[in-house]
A and B are shown apart, each in its own frame.
Chain A
Amino acid sequence: DTAVSQTPKYLVTQMGNDKSIKCEQNLGHDTMYWYKQDSKKFLKIMFSYNNKELIINETVPNRFSPKSPDKAHLNLHINSLELGDSAVYFCASSQDGASGNTIYFGEGSWLTVV
């Protein structure tokens, strides 16, 4: 069974469109994340979220918004897509927000904006 699953795995879309990436974890974790990995493989955290608080990386444009219907799901919605949004987006989870937690990553969603 896949611990952290995200869909779609590949997404090609035009500039200006709105798209969503869905994520689900079956680990019973309290905290979920979205990471962005650019072409140089740099992994940057975008959001961390548990049922108590949403922490937003201040460098993330407000076109990006996480939506969590319940603690097992954290979807990423992107408005008005731009070319620079092309990247791999990883959903992840950890037991809670404590400093020693291991992060479990999904397999990634490859987004290409044309």
Chain B
Amino acid sequence: GQQVMQIPQYQHVQEGEDFTTYCNSSTTLSNIQWYKQRPGGHPVFLIQLVKSGEVKKQKRLTFQFGEAKKNSSLHITATQTTDVGTYFCAGPYSGAGSYQLTFGKGTKLSVIP
């Protein structure tokens, strides 16, 4: 079925280092969303990208949507311990007349103080 591939599965960084997670879809997406799940918590919406080549920033987080709308990335500059968690990308896939948001397998970020 439709799926979103996300790499890496795990990333350990020293505090202050940068971090990037990548997402690829087998098909063109109308939009892509990013979520963050803190340890023991629930996924929380971060951002949605809609336009081809779109770049959005939230403080130290930079989100990109590829020109072909098949891939996306999340880059965190100068990681902090508060960035710890699992980051998921998610894309909508149509089926049976409606859309279902399909999540990538997530990238678990650990930040070493």
* A residues lining the B interface (CB < 8 Å): 35, 40-45, 48, 50, 53, 55, 57, 90, 94, 97-108
* B residues lining the A interface (CB < 8 Å): 30-31, 33, 35, 37, 41-45, 48, 50, 86, 88, 90, 92, 94-103, 105-106, 108
* Residues B100 and A48 in contact, CB atoms below 8 Å apart: yes
| CB-based A-B contact count at 8 angstroms | 66
- A50 to B103: give the CA distance in the assembly, Å: 20
Q: Which residues of B contact A100 (CB under 8 A)?
A: 30-31, 48, 50, 92
Q: Shortest Cβ distance from A7 into chain B, in angstroms?
A: 14
Tell me whether chain A's interface is mostly helix, strand or loop, or mixed: loop
Whether A98 touches B99, Cβ cut-off 8 Å, given contacts A41-B86, A41-B108, A43-B106, is: yes
Query: Can you list 10 contacts pairing A with B, beta carbon distance less than 8 Å?
Result: A41-B86, A41-B108, A45-B100, A45-B103, A98-B99, A99-B92, A101-B101, A103-B45, A103-B90, A103-B101
* Residues B100 and A104 in contact, CB atoms below 8 Å apart: no
Whether A97 touches B98, Cβ cut-off 8 Å, given contacts A43-B88, A43-B103, A102-B33, is: yes
Q: Which residues of B contact A107 (CB under 8 A)?
A: 41-42
- A55 to B110: give the CA distance in the assembly, Å: 36
- A45 to B99: give the CA distance in the assembly, Å: 12
**Nearest neighbor of A110 in chain B, beta-carbon distance:** B40
Q: Which residues of B contact A94 (CB under 8 A)?
A: 101
